[in-house]
Structure 1
Amino acid sequence: MKTRKLGQTLEVSALGLGCMGMSWAYGPSDRDACLNLLREAVDLGVTFFDTAEIYGPFTNEELVGEALRPVRDKVVIATKFGFVTDQKPGSLTNVNSRPEHIREVADASLKRLGVDVIDLLYQHRVDPNVPIEDVAGTVADLIKAGKVKHFGLSEASSATIRRAHAVQPVTAVQSEYSLWTRDPETQILPTLEELGIGFVPYSPLGRGFLTGALKDATLDPSDYRNTSPRFVGEAAKTNARAVDALADLAAAKGVTPAQLALAWLLAQKPWIVPIPGTRRLDRLKENIASADIDLTSADLAAIEDVIAATGFAGARYTEGGMAMLNR
């Protein structure tokens, strides 16, 4: 697979693999099948894998660590700190980025992953009670100690990114970005381009909605998308119409809707590395193929026309989740 660079030195595959859904949020999964999929991903050229202590909690890091241990020298593993892990499953409302907590999480993540160093350590959400300079300084200390290689932020504001970067260079920022979530375009992407920071869009396929495969699907009762504003009611109907229109463009191009959505992201900036998640080998191969799709200026204009004509509806998260963004 083609590679891209995050920050100044971190080279990864043009598409990474988001591992959250293998353990959390999207209903039951087969652990052995996920172990095999992670290993297949490496064989197919994926070198960038995304996990977090909160996914499970904890079990996703253990899964990723076990699967990738035999190929540790070939892969980049990103994980995250910052959420309180003793809350109910699926709840993401309490944060803790106190320096002592960051150090505890880093040590625990190293153990669960079974690695000597964390390649990329993100703050999962900004903690308004802890100055970002203290967070960046703590990660800088972990880098000096040889426990972490690179520092990242997730869903941080432009101002916070600048403050953090002044203390410890930020290699990558992770935020939701896709055809139905364009928020980063106004401030975040210009800031990252100016500072030389890479961007890692999570949910690049709109939690599966942009694939077109979910509009008539029945989700497992434990799947958190059952309560996601974009997946229910009139918003879901509006969004389905937009996806149908995009699917028509994809068909005319000879690609799948998922491939169109990922190719669109890759076309935005050369330092953007999406991390679509999946538990299926056929979907993994489909996603990987998008790295070889070139969209023309006419293709990109047609996509913008569709979005302008149809649009997407609904908030990204519930009210509590939205309050944690862009801090």
Structure 2
Amino acid sequence: MTRKAGMTPLTLELAGHRVHRLGLGAMRLPTEPTDARATSITLLRKAVDLGVTLVDTAHLYGWGANEELVAEALYPYPDGLLVATKLGVERRPAAADGAVYNGSEAFLRSQVDDALRRLRVERIDLMQLHRVDPAVPLADQVGVLRDLRAEGKIGHIGLSEVSATQLAEARATVEIASVQNRYNILDREYDPVVDACEAAGIAFLPWRPVVAGGADATAVIAALARELDVTATQLALAWLLRRSPVIVPIPGTASTAHLAENLAAARLELTDDQYELLNRAARADR
């Protein structure tokens, strides 16, 4: 794979850090049993060695166990590493999914304190609202995070799974540094949010960034991947990097081989024709 100088920028300012535009989502990393945990720790350290500067975790991932895993692997955190986490989901076994959204002030404050302890830091540089609680006004939820920022416990504030309207509403209360929505070449529901983020200079962190779609579109993607001698996953990540300069994919993996494969996608520069071919395939799929 080759790339041309001066093309797609591969770093972005986010939450006071200059981050590489391919991060790592830690959700898939097992924390138990002991041998699996050791493998997860090795992968996290390898990711940093390979140049990853953004690791994304959340309280929801193992109800705090994933945050503790990240800290065990990477603390003391190397200079330039941004560890982002998320809050706003409460474990409630009696609920249908075993969890509920909770945007109350008391709960959000307790989750920030718990995350500070688990991640072993005095300030969380990027704290993201994992889901908007429909029972609490959005302005109140981000208002709590704004207050926690003023208290020095949070550096920057992000959102997850929001519409363009909700993003605008939140921005009326506090500065928003990032949005993390489900998004990939064949899952384009949040195109308007990507465009809104780009216009405002807000980082967009797509989760589930790898292709999942119809057979016709994936056939086109597979054919181009073979032509370029890359994987379909690498092609999907390269498309995201080309889609907007504010996009920072956070693919997750528990395999060091897949980790290296994902990061290699940064070296793939799509031509205009290749980019439009993929767009046409995606539009036909939809």
TM-score by length of 1: 0.79
In structure 2, the residue matched to 1:218 is none
In structure 2, the residue matched to 1:250 is 225
In structure 2, the residue matched to 1:188 is 193
In structure 2, the residue matched to 1:259 is 234
Among 263, 267, 282, the alignment partner of 1:292 is 267
In structure 1, the residue matched to 2:141 is 135
Structure 2: gaps of 5 or more residues: 1-8
In structure 2, the residue matched to 1:11 is 18
Which secondary structure does the structure 2 equivalent of 1:66 belong to? helix
Q: What does residue range 131-280 of structure 1 map to in structure 2 within 5 Å? A: 131-185=137-191, 187-206=192-211, 239-240=214-215, 242-280=217-255
TM-score by length of 2: 0.90
In structure 2, the residue matched to 1:115 is 121
Seen in structure 2, the aligned counterparts of structure 1 residues 82 and 286 have a Cα distance that, compared at 3 Å, is: same
Identity over the aligned pairs, expressed in percent?
A: 40
Shift of 1:114: 1.4
In structure 1, the residue matched to 2:27 is 20
Seen in structure 2, the aligned counterparts of structure 1 residues 62 and 90 have a Cα distance that, compared at 3 Å, is: farther
- What's the C-alpha RMSD, in Å, of the aligned pairs? 2.4
Shift of 1:112: 1.0
* Matched letter for residue 196 of structure 1: G
Seen in structure 2, the aligned counterparts of structure 1 residues 88 and 76 have a Cα distance that, compared at 3 Å, is: farther
* Matched letter for residue 252 of structure 1: E
Seen in structure 2, the aligned counterparts of structure 1 residues 308 and 169 have a Cα distance that, compared at 3 Å, is: closer
* Matched letter for residue 21 of structure 2: A
Which secondary structure does the structure 2 equivalent of 1:176 belong to? coil
Seen in structure 2, the aligned counterparts of structure 1 residues 287 and 88 have a Cα distance that, compared at 3 Å, is: farther
Seen in structure 2, the aligned counterparts of structure 1 residues 175 and 29 have a Cα distance that, compared at 3 Å, is: farther
Aligned residues: 277
8 Å CA contact 1:6–1:199 kept in 2: the answer is no
Shift of 1:92: 6.8
Seen in structure 2, the aligned counterparts of structure 1 residues 97 and 270 have a Cα distance that, compared at 3 Å, is: same
Name the CA distance, whole Å, in 1 between partners of 2:47 and 2:101. 32
Structure 1: gaps of 5 or more residues: 211-237, 313-327
* Matched letter for residue 115 of structure 2: S
In structure 2, the residue matched to 1:106 is 112
Seen in structure 2, the aligned counterparts of structure 1 residues 29 and 172 have a Cα distance that, compared at 3 Å, is: farther
Shift of 1:124: 0.6
1:307 aligns with 2:277: no
Shift of 1:66: 1.0
Shift of 1:68: 1.3
Give per-residue Cα distances to partners, 1:100-137, cap 9 Å, x unaligned: 11100000011111122111111111111111111121
Name the CA distance, whole Å, in 1 between partners of 2:221 and 2:132. 34
Name the CA distance, whole Å, in 2 between partners of 1:303 and 1:276. 20
Which secondary structure does the structure 1 equivalent of 2:172 belong to? helix
Seen in structure 2, the aligned counterparts of structure 1 residues 93 and 59 have a Cα distance that, compared at 3 Å, is: closer
Name the CA distance, whole Å, in 1 between partners of 2:36 and 2:264. 25
Among 27, 30, 38, the alignment partner of 1:32 is 38
Seen in structure 2, the aligned counterparts of structure 1 residues 93 and 86 have a Cα distance that, compared at 3 Å, is: closer
Name the CA distance, whole Å, in 1 between partners of 2:21 and 2:131. 24
Higher mean C-alpha displacement, 38-47 vs 76-85: 76-85
8 Å CA contact 1:13–1:46 kept in 2: the answer is yes
Seen in structure 2, the aligned counterparts of structure 1 residues 282 and 89 have a Cα distance that, compared at 3 Å, is: farther
* Matched letter for residue 203 of structure 1: R
